[in-house]
Amino acid sequence: MKVEQIYTGCLAQGAYYIESNGEVAIIDPLREVKPYINRAKLDDAKIKYIFETHFHADFVSGHVTLAKETGAPIIYGPSANPSFDAIIAQDNQEFKLGKLTITVLHTPGHTLESTTYLLKDENGKDYAIFSGDTLFLGDVGRPDLAQKMGELTEKDLAGMLYDSLRDKIMPLADDILVYPAHGAGSACGKNMMKETVDTLGNQKKMNYALRENMTKEEFVEEVTEGLLPPPQYFPLNVKLNKEGYEDFKEVLKRGTKSLSPRAFEAAANETGAIVLDVRHQDEFAKGHVPRSIFIGLNGDFAPWVGALIADVEQPILLVTPKGGEEEAVTRLSRVGFDNTLGFLEGGFEAWKNSAMEYDTVSQVSAKALSDLLKIDEVPVFDVRKKSEYLSEHLLSAVNTPLDYLNNHLAEFPDNKIFYVHCAGGYRSMIASSILKSRGIHNLIDVVGGFKEIKDSGAPVSEYVCPSTL
């Protein structure tokens, strides 16, 4: 028996490869399926099943393409209604995989079709659960993503989730392994642990939602408390996962079309495409295509694209580091952004060498800002999350979270210089690029972010542990 977790850090997502006696099951595959096919070839094995724990909202699964290329059936739990051929399994239905057995446990609550898959070893002993977004490490899936036009509320779904956990998962043995679909950093939960696998017994001790004496009313209140609105691209990804999508090979072919600087400019003007610059923030600051948006590949790229661009059908043109175009197109496609039209051939240097107009972002060190604050009350904007700001912040800073920057545009002064910072410099550069694309140029980015601001001796608020907020 082989069980491998294939973890993708930028999405905080876990896909799973299970092999026994030459037969393979894949659980919750990513959009690009070649790695799974190649992995099975290494084992001289055949992909027999493709299991989906639910209709994912935060990424586009590779189930449709993988089924097409391998002939393996797609399997969902009860109540799923995809537009393509799939096996809609019954609760407690079993699937044989070599010497192993995979049992379907219908666990609605995160979504109505949410399903946990229980893996039994060749002796029939429970070995692991693949819990999707039903049970995370330290948390459970948010219950507000599957409401249907007033028919169900998030509290209704939270109640279902309580029953699913108590009836289907908590009675299982403490020594079985828990393999969730996501870890820390995902928007599908509130307080996930950094670990990506654990025992169920430890989760019963550590996970607030699995308290033995917890009432349903307490569970519903705690699980629904503090839920932020889901990113706008979530429903669009659910639609792609339910109805199917364009073959990734075609997306990659179109997105990696090279365009000269003049052709690139013409394409942007003709299509209304967003120019997305995925280089490092330091390179973007030194020079970039005017009105381009920075979201670097070196950070949480795909989630920020989803949160800030939102419309998966938006045309996109790429400015990448040398050789980075395929990675950028691939990571965009993972969250459903398939309408990439090409990339700037030769990168930004080619644009600059063609005597094209370009823009820069002014920057200062944290020490320089700290020194300035001692003699002047300059406006400073902190684009970290509200929880980060409340935990500790520069006393004079105003919180304008990057996620909701468009709601704060009126707060930025139009007649004086202001400063923008985040935790380390990645998000503040995204914010700076968005503001400049809106015609707001009187900004200065703070290099190094809050960490260096604090180290510089600038006055900050008293620290409050984020877990208490």
Whether 358 maps to a domain, the answer reads no
CATH code (residue 58): 3.60.15.10
Is 166 within the bounds of a domain? Answer: yes
Spatial distance between the Cα atoms of 442 and 359, rounded to a whole number of angstroms: 13
Cβ atoms of 279 and 349 closer than 8 Å:
no
One-letter amino acid of 115: T
Whether 51 and 158 map to the same domain: the answer is yes
Of 236, 257, 277, the domain-final residue: 236
In a domain, 411, yes or no: yes
pLDDT at 467 (0 to 100): 64
DSSP 466: G
Same domain membership, residue 42 and residue 130: yes
Q: For the packed helices 426-437 and 301-309, what is the interaxial angle rounded to 10 degrees?
A: 30
Same domain, 151 and 272: no
Residue 241 lies in a domain: no
Is residue 344 domain-shared with residue 369, that is, in the same domain? no
Q: Are residues 225 and 256 in the same domain?
A: no
Q: Give, in order, the Cα–Cα distances in Å from 228 to each of 108, 169, 183, 268.
A: 21, 27, 17, 34
Are residues 294 and 178 part of one domain? no
Question: 440 phi and psi, to 5 degrees?
Answer: -100, 105
Find out whether 208 and 190 touch, Cβ atoms under 8 Å. Answer: no
Same domain, 258 and 183: no
Q: What is the DSSP code string of 390-452?
A: HHS-BTTEEE--GGGGGGGGGGS-SSS-EEEE-SSSHHHHHHHHHHHHTT---EEEEETHHHH
Distance CA 449, CA 294 (A): 17
The SS3 assignment for 9 reads: helix
Give a yes or no: residue 301 inside a domain.
yes
**pLDDT one digit per residue (tens) for the chain, 469 residues:** 999 999 988 888 999 999 999 999 999 999 999 999 999 999 999 999 999 999 999 999 999 999 999 999 999 999 999 999 999 999 999 999 999 999 999 999 999 999 999 999 999 999 999 999 999 999 999 998 875 545 789 999 999 999 999 999 999 999 999 999 998 877 776 678 889 999 999 999 999 999 999 999 999 999 999 888 888 899 999 999 999 999 999 999 999 999 999 999 999 999 999 999 999 999 999 999 999 999 999 988 988 999 899 899 999 999 999 999 999 999 999 999 999 999 999 999 999 999 999 999 999 999 999 999 999 889 999 999 998 999 999 999 999 999 999 889 999 998 899 999 999 999 999 999 999 999 999 999 999 999 999 999 999 999 998 766 6
Classify residue 342: in a domain, yes or no: yes
Q: Which range marks the domain in which residue 300 is found?
A: 246-353
Lookup: tokens for 247 = 């073959």
Last residue of a domain, one of 319, 353, 387: 353
Q: How confident is the model at residue 148, as a pLDDT?
A: 58
Say yes or no: 295 and 370 in one domain. no
> What's the total number of domains in the chain?
3
Q: Please check whether residues 111 and 13 belong to one and the same domain.
A: yes
Let me know if residue 326 belongs to a domain: yes
Residue 264 lies in a domain: yes
Give pLDDT, residue 149: 47
Look at residues 236, 269, 284 and tell me which one is the last residue of a structural domain: 236
CATH number, position 410: 3.40.250.10
Are 16 and 69 within one domain? yes
Same domain, 347 and 377: no
Q: Are residues 323 and 206 in the same domain?
A: no
Determine the Cα–Cα distance for residues 370 and 378; give it in Å rounded to an integer: 10
